[in-house]
Amino acid sequence: MLEIIDVSDAAKAFIKQKGGVVTVRLSPRHGCCGGLANVAVAEASAPKAPSLYQRHSDEDITIFIATALAYQGLRVDVEGLWKLRHLYVDGSNPRSGHTNKH
């Protein structure tokens, strides 16, 4: 069975240090020529509207994940050094549909 989302051990440790909560959501990114793409991002905080997310627990962390990103084979990991460490989402492009409006 496919996992909701894979979270590396290093990311779990980082999330625990930051309060034990992670939100995985789509974030719009605007291109230089007017295009728009949604990119999956992970943030070590609770969402502003928790009711809009699926909520799951895994090894003492709480995961809020956008429904469009669940079961997509994505992985949350951490990179960077010292105070510049941050979470990121790795994996195939989320199958959430085209967002450009013409």
Query: How confident is the model at residue 101, as a pLDDT?
Result: 38
Distance CA 100, CA 102 (A): 6
In a domain, 102, yes or no: no
In a domain, 43, yes or no: yes
Query: How confident is the model at residue 99, as a pLDDT?
Result: 41
H or E element in which residue 40 lies: strand 36-43
In a domain, 1, yes or no: no
pLDDT band at 102 (very low <50, low <70, confident <90, very high): very low
79-100 core/surface letters (b: 16 or more CB in 10 A; e: else): eeeeeeeebebeeeebeeeeee
Tokens of 64: 């809020």
Q: Note the pLDDT tens digit of each residue in 12-48.
A: 999 999 999 999 999 988 777 777 888 899 999 999 9
In a domain, 74, yes or no: yes
Distance CA 68, CA 96 (A): 6
Count of the separate structural domains present in the chain? 1
In a domain, 95, yes or no: no
In a domain, 101, yes or no: no
Domain that holds residue 39: 6-90
Question: Which residue, chain included where needed, has tokens 């990119």?
Answer: 39
How many alpha carbons fall within 13 Å on the CB side of residue 2? 9
Q: What is the rounded end-to-end Cα distance, in angstroms, of the chain?
A: 38
Summary mean pLDDT of the chain? 86
In a domain, 40, yes or no: yes
With pLDDT > 90 as the criterion, what percentage of the chain qualifies?
Answer: 68
CATH of the domain at 18: 2.60.300
